[in-house]
Structures are given as structure tokens and as C-alpha cells.
Amino acid sequence: MKLRNIILAVSAATASFLAVTHRDKIAKEVQETKQLLSDIQLSKDNIQEQLAIIQSFQEPLQEMASDLQYKTRVYQQSIAGNLEEIQQILKKYQNENNIP
């Protein structure tokens, strides 16, 4: 036998021995990994559901925002007109009070 074949055989035997010796640890790690993968999948599904809910609110919120912007502009224009009237009335009374 060649040295290479002997080294490969010894390495394989060592790996097999270690696998059998630590099979409980390995089985536990495999089980924990499966559980983690399951938890990750559940989290992913939950996140996707929450994202769908958020996206379903996006369009109504955009409509509300544009409606509020429109109402704000209308209110500002209304206030500007009322402010001009108030200033004219104020000037009128100031002029009447300043005339002796």
C-alpha cells in the first residue's frame, strides 16, 4: 500500500471514530439547527404578513395626506383673506381714532 492510501484510511477511521464518539452532540446540534431553521421560517412568514398589512395601509394614508395638504392650503387661503379684512377694519378704526 502506498503511504497516501494509508493516510487516507487512518483519516477516515479517525473521522468515523470521532463521529460515533460525539454522535449525541452531533444529533443535538442537528436538532437545534432544524429548530432554528423552523423559527427563522416562522419569523419570515410573520414579517411578510406584517409587511402586507403595512402596505395595505399605505394607499389610504397617502390619500389622507394629500387630502390634508389640500385642506391646509384652503385654510391658509381663507385665513389670508380674513386677515386682509381684519387689517382693513383695523386701519379704518385707527384712522377714525386719530382724527380729532
CA distance readout (Å), 62 to 14, 54, 59, 66, 89: 66, 12, 5, 6, 41
Give the mean pLDDT of 24-45.
Answer: 94
Q: Vertex 41, ends 39 and 44: CA angle to 5°? A: 110
Residue with cell 380674513: 82
Counting the structural domains of the chain, the total is 1
Q: Is pLDDT at 96 greater than 80 in this prediction? A: no
Reported as a single tens digit per residue, the pLDDT across 40-89 is 999 999 999 999 999 999 999 999 999 999 999 999 888 888 888 888 88
Taking the whole predicted model, whether its pTM rises above 0.85 is answered as no
d(CA 34, CA 40): 10
Give the mean pLDDT of 34-43.
Answer: 97
DSSP 8-state assignment for residue 2: -
Query: What is the domain range of residue 80?
Result: 3-98
Q: Is pLDDT at 39 greater than 90 in this prediction? A: yes
